[in-house]
Every structure is written in structure tokens, then in C-alpha cells.
Amino acid sequence: MDEVVLINGWPSSPDCMAWSHDNVIAVGVRDGVVLIAPRSEGRSETGSFWRAANLDAGDFPFDDVPLREPLPWSNFSVGQELSERHVVSLQWSPPGLGSFARSVLAVLSANEVLSLYDCDGRLDVKEFWHRRLVVNHALGADENPEINHFSRPRQHRSEWTERSHRIRSFCWIPPPHAHRCQMPLRARSTFRNFMLAICDDNDMVQVLEVRSPHDVLNPDRDTWEINTLYSFSAAPISSHTGTVSSFLPSSFSQPSSGNVDQLSWSPWSFNVEGNLVSTLVYTYNAVLHAISVEASWQSSRPDHFRIISHDAPEEIDHLRVRGPLRWLPAGAAGDGADDTLVYYSDAGLNRLDIDHERGSAVRRQLLYASDSCWTSVAGLASFTRKDDGKLLCLSPQMLDWNPGVIVTAVDATSPTVHSAPAWAGPLSRTKNAYNKSHHMTGNISTHVHGLASSPFGNTLGLCASFHPREGLEYVIPAHAEGYVVIAQEWEPMNNGNLSLSIGSAADTHGFAAENIATLLHGIKDHPDLPDPDLIEAQFARSLSLTGAPDDVVAAEPLAREDLAGYVHRLRSSLLFSSESVQIRLKHLISIALGRVELPAGPDVRTLKSLVTLTTDLSTLVSDDDELSRQLLHTHRKILSELSSRELGIIDTAEGDKHHHYEKCSVCSAEIPFES
């Protein structure tokens, strides 16, 4: 699936590239987002597998972003009042929040507005993408007593509220139902908590719960909702007070001396008390800090999630951070650490291990030393190679400068530098073609804008652009060209064996069907394709459809009038019972291998499961309910017909005499059953 995709520009902010659980690559370009997804119809006539769709993310009506009076100079915001609305950051949510259990795209614009986008159709067509929510609407309703104490003058209170509407940074919080806390299928069958952490202009971190109307099991709302669960200050605690500040009145509001540049939240783990614990890391004026957060959550009552406490901000590294913050997949780091963070600072590439069993103990190690203080890192991603295992790929913004691309092992005991990534070859060929077509005669340099890893961990994507190495450059924005290079590090088929790299997506959520279809599409013509049963077993594990018994589906008796309860039970049975899961998995593999032509008709096995479940509810149907009795009669007919097909009974003219047909209520003619 190696390919170079041309896009209409390049990001104006570093690390503005993300790869979703649904196999969609998002790149922030000026005031929009380029969405790169596999083509719904397969490869094009030119052999292209990926399609780019341009999403307009900078057009906000007044209802979404109303105009406000500018604040005094001490709290004036260039982003809110003056800047263009280009994209400065974007991230994909965990799977399950959007339509069809997909991921939702969060986009932060330069006007300090955070918005959520969802797709309700084909992922590679922009008309199916819609802005669902503007997060700023839920902010600034109340002042925070922990910080404000309601002792400030009235004008300072209004300024505090106004500053709370400005979102400086954000990150998605891993859901507590991650597989490291529950069995895979059971985790997916419970209520899901989707949370977002944002930091405003007051250095306040707010934990927001996002709820969508797409919950299949618990459809209790028609619109998108967002609520504040918890908030705390991320401003570092100063160890000393300035001499001048000690003589100022207590009501004096000292201007903020910095801001939170980026946030990153680790997955949840259980501590010795049985509570969930996680770590929020962030950069304050490019200096790394951490806050440990403890929460309570019960799998029997998954909707009762609440944060109990948080620690004071702790400075982890006094050196400046020069790149993104990345948490490694669970189990990838080894050494018994609960969570491992990797980042690039003035000293080089660092690894931060956190052990929650020992009171969130922190251990920092240097993986790769670098003496280049002028280089900032544009991309940092983890991926897998067959022979080398889990590796880290690091790319500076100026690719032609030293030290260049770094590929190193995750293990701190053997920080070996490995060979160049697979995208280096296609990028070099694209650079040579660009140099020739634009007559640059070798005066060309490569700028990297982002790096992302696929959910399987076997493919890396790089966003880059080409510019003159020396001299002035004049580019019309409408004619700007950027390139996204997508290259596989290893093939899933090797010597007739199909093997998958279990990465972060499988460990915490399970892979999406879009990834399965993409992978099988690439190997369906392989001469040594393994047996379908072996493929099914591997993909059942990758989709996290194993590890839970059929008691996921509730079996408690329900009241006759509890219609919502019966709907919940029917949907749970269809989605999470082992028989239904196996039927869907076989059908998915048949479609991906091209054995079923699209659009595929309904699977009769799924239909039989549905009518079997509904016929079991016959005791709940009242004799006075004519409509329910007719539906029940129809479902029994369908079940009888499907059972006859499985037994090999073929309808003949002689056999039709024994069939009982429905009669038309108008002309009394017999109505034969047709499928």
C-alpha cells in the first residue's frame, strides 16, 4: 500500500498529523483539514489506493463563535481577536464515540476554538463529514473556587470567565474501559466514558465528558452533549515569591507568565487501593510537568466515573521539550513500567517510566543523546518491524540538518540506531522529481510537518514539503503543494503465514473493520493465502472479539412494559453473543477477500439470530396487541423458512401443498413467502 499522496499545502503548526483507529489520516493544512482514507471502491485506474478529501474547518458562523468585546491589554488575546483560523492541533478520539462506533476528530483552531467532527457515511467523501460540537460553549459558566476564591474584583471575575473560553491545548483521555482493565469483549459491551482534557487561558485543566447520540445500547439522547467533570490548575507552584509581589495588595491579579503548550494523558491502571490512576503530562513554557490523577470506576456501574483527587504539578525535566509527547503502547516498553512516555528535549530523545504501584514513581532515561540545540522535532511515532520489534522513529523539522531521521529501539538498555524507515525511499524519489520539475538545480530542502503510525503499527505516514535551501521563496497559497508519504515497514504475509502486530489499538480498543478490510484487500491475491479459519482466529483477536463469555448479554427477567430493556437485550445479543460475533466476522472476511460482491445483501444468519430472539419473547405479547401478534407471526414464518433451508428442504410443487400461506385481507388470495 506504499503511496505518495499530493495535498493542497502544508501544516502551519508542527505535529499537525494524526492517524485514526478507522484508518483515516488527518493533516491540518491552513484553515482546513485534509482527510486521507482508503478508497471505498478500491484502487483507482492509476493504481491509487488512498483518496484525499478537503474539510473546511475554519468557517465558523456567529452562532458557533460569537463576537466578544476584547479584553484589556494585560489579557488581550491575539489568537481570539486578530488571527486567522488556521488549524494548530488535531487529535482523534478513542473509537466508539462517533457514528458507527467510529472515532471523532477534534480540531483546535488559532482562534482558540475547539470543534468536533464526525462522519456519518463514507470516510473518503467530505460531504459526509460534519461539525457536531463546539467545545467552547460548555466553558466559562462558573468560576473555579480553588483558584479564584471569589475574592477578586468584579472586572477581574469577568476577565477570568472570558479567558476560560480560550482553549490553548487539549488531548483525549483514554477511556476507563480499556482492555487493560477489563476483558476485551466485555469492555466493549459496557457503557463508554469518552473524556476530553482542555487547558484554557487561565492555566486551568478541565475534564469534559462528551456524549453522542450514537450509543447503540443506551440511546438516551438525540443531540451531542458535553459536561464538566473535574477541573484543576496546571500552573507550576513557584518555590519563592518575588520581592515586589510581596508588597502588592492581595487583590492584585498577576498576569500569567506562561501557558500550557501541549497535553498528553496516559492510560488508566489500577492501584493498590483498587482505584484507577493515570498521569497527565504537559509542557508549561516548553518545560515538562506531570500531575497524577486518581479516579473511581466500577465495571458493574460504568457510568459512575468520577475523579477523586490529583497531585500538585511536578517538574519532570528542566530542559526544554522540542517535540510532541507520546505514550508507548501497553507492554511495548517492558521493564515493568505501567506507562512509558517518550519525548525529545535539548539533551536528546528521552524515556519516562511511571510505576503506579510505587506511588507513581518516575524514572527518566536518555535513549539518544543529541547536541543539536537548534533542531525541533516535527514527528515522533512508534512502529513495529519483524526482526527488530517495537521501534521509535523521530524526524526533525529540517530533514537535511543533523542528526536527521533517528530510528532507535524502545529498550533503554540497548538504544541501537536502526536503518532508515521505509518512507525514506519514496520521499527521496519525490524530492528528486520536485527538484527536476521546478528547475531548482539541487537548491532544495525537505521540511517535515508530522509523523504518524497506523493502528496495526506496520505502516508510517509522513507529511513533508519542499523549499529552497537558500534564497527567498514566493508561494501562492492556492498553489502550495505538500506530500503525505505512506509506506509499510513489514508485510503481514510471510512464507504463507499471516501475522499481525498487536499495537496500541488492539491492546486498548481492538482494531476497526476498516483496518481489517484494508489489510485483507492487500493480501487477497496472495498465492499462499492461509485457511479462512486461521484468518478468522487472528482477526477475532485483533478485533478484540474474544475473551468474554456469553453472559455479557444480561439474562435477568424484565417487566412486560420495559420496552427499553428488551431493546437493550436484543441489541446486546446481536452485538456481543459469541454466535453473532462469529457470523459477522465470517461475513466481513468474505467481503474483504472479494468473495462477496458489494453491495452485499443481508446475511441470512444474522436474520435468523434476530427472529430467534424475537420469537422467544412470545410470552410478553398481549392478546390485545394485534400489531405485536402479527409481527411475531411473521418472524415465526421467517424462522421456519430459514430452518428449512438449513435442513436442505427444497420447495417443490408437491411440497407447496403442505405450506401454510398468509391470506390477503381484501381478496383472500394466498400470499407465498419470498426472500
- Tell me the per-residue pLDDT of 321-370, one tens digit each, with 9 for 90 and over: 989 999 987 666 556 567 889 999 988 888 998 887 666 677 888 888 87
Higher-scoring residue by pLDDT: 476, 25: 25
Average pLDDT of the residues of the chain:
77
Angle at 44 between CA 41 and CA 47, to 5 degrees: 130
pLDDT at 558 over 50: yes
> What CA–CA distance (Å, rounded) separates 339 from 341?
7
DSSP annotation of 620: G
CB atoms within 10 A of CB 448: 22
Contact 550, 516 (CB under 8 A): no
The percentage of the chain sitting over the pLDDT mark of 90, rounded to a whole number, equals 22
pLDDT of residue 149: 39
pLDDT of residue 465: 94
In which band, very low, low, confident or very high, does the pLDDT at 176 lie, cut at 50, 70 and 90?
Answer: confident
pLDDT at 274 over 50: yes
Helix boundaries (H) for 377-498: 424-437
- Give me 442's grid cell: 539541487
Residue 215, Ramachandran bin (φ over 0: left; ψ between -120 and 50: alpha; else beta): beta
pLDDT at 572 over 90: no
Residue 302 falls within a domain, yes or no?
yes
B/e letters for 251-265, b = 16+ CB within 10 Å, e = fewer, are eeeeeeeebbbbbbb
> What CA–CA distance (Å, rounded) separates 660 from 675?
16
What SS3 state is found at 339?
strand
pLDDT at 145 over 60: no
pLDDT of residue 257: 58
Higher-scoring residue by pLDDT: 278, 584: 278
- Give me 251's grid cell: 487583590
> What CA–CA distance (Å, rounded) separates 10 from 459?
21
pLDDT of residue 583: 78
In which band, very low, low, confident or very high, does the pLDDT at 283 lie, cut at 50, 70 and 90?
Answer: very high
Higher-scoring residue by pLDDT: 635, 435: 435
Q: What is the mean pLDDT of residues 534-549?
A: 67
pLDDT at 502 over 60: no
β-pair partners for 391: 383, 409
pLDDT of residue 651: 45
DSSP annotation of 260: E
pLDDT at 554 over 60: no
Q: Which residue has the cell 477475532?
A: 540
pLDDT at 510 over 80: no
User: Does 599 sit behind a cis peptide bond, omega within 30 degrees of 0 on the bond before it?
Assistant: yes
pLDDT per residue over 399-428, tens digit each?
A: 877 667 888 888 756 656 678 889 999 999
pLDDT at 598 over 80: no
- What's the predicted TM-score (pTM) here? 0.82
Residue 487 falls within a domain, yes or no?
no
Amino acid at 557: P
The total of structural domains in the chain comes to: 1
β-pair partners for 114: 108
Residue 403 falls within a domain, yes or no?
no
Angle at 128 between CA 126 and CA 129, to 5 degrees: 70
The percentage of the chain sitting over the pLDDT mark of 70, rounded to a whole number, equals 69
Q: Which of 277-281, 374-378, 477-481, 531-535 tops mean pLDDT?
A: 277-281
pLDDT per residue over 295-332, tens digit each?
A: 887 655 556 778 888 888 888 988 899 899 999 876 66
Higher-scoring residue by pLDDT: 203, 390: 203
Residue 191 falls within a domain, yes or no?
yes
| 439 burial type by CB count under 10 A (0-12 exposed, 13-18 middle, 19+ buried) | exposed
B/e letters for 327-338, b = 16+ CB within 10 Å, e = fewer, are bbbbebbeeebb
pLDDT of residue 142: 46
pLDDT of residue 151: 45
> What CA–CA distance (Å, rounded) separates 554 from 570?
10
Amino acid at 647: L
Residue 310 falls within a domain, yes or no?
yes
Residue 183 falls within a domain, yes or no?
yes
pLDDT per residue over 69-90, tens digit each?
A: 667 666 666 666 656 688 999 9
- Give me 67's grid cell: 463576537
pLDDT of residue 675: 44
Contact 495, 19 (CB under 8 A): no
Contact 457, 477 (CB under 8 A): no
pLDDT at 43 over 60: yes
Q: What is the mean pLDDT of residues 29-49?
A: 84
> What CA–CA distance (Å, rounded) separates 54 from 50?
13
Residue 189 falls within a domain, yes or no?
yes
Q: What is the mean pLDDT of residues 93-100?
A: 86
pLDDT of residue 519: 72
What SS3 state is found at 576?
helix
The residue count of the chain comes to 675
In which band, very low, low, confident or very high, does the pLDDT at 49 lie, cut at 50, 70 and 90?
Answer: confident
Higher-scoring residue by pLDDT: 226, 555: 226
In which band, very low, low, confident or very high, does the pLDDT at 107 lie, cut at 50, 70 and 90?
Answer: very high
- Give me 355's grid cell: 510505576
Q: Which domain holds residue 202?
A: 139-240+255-321
Tell me which H or E stretch contains 164. Answer: helix 154-164
Beta strands in 39-166 (DSSP E): 50-56, 87-92, 105-109, 114-119, 129-134
- Dmax (CA) for the chain in angstroms is 105
Residue 287 falls within a domain, yes or no?
yes
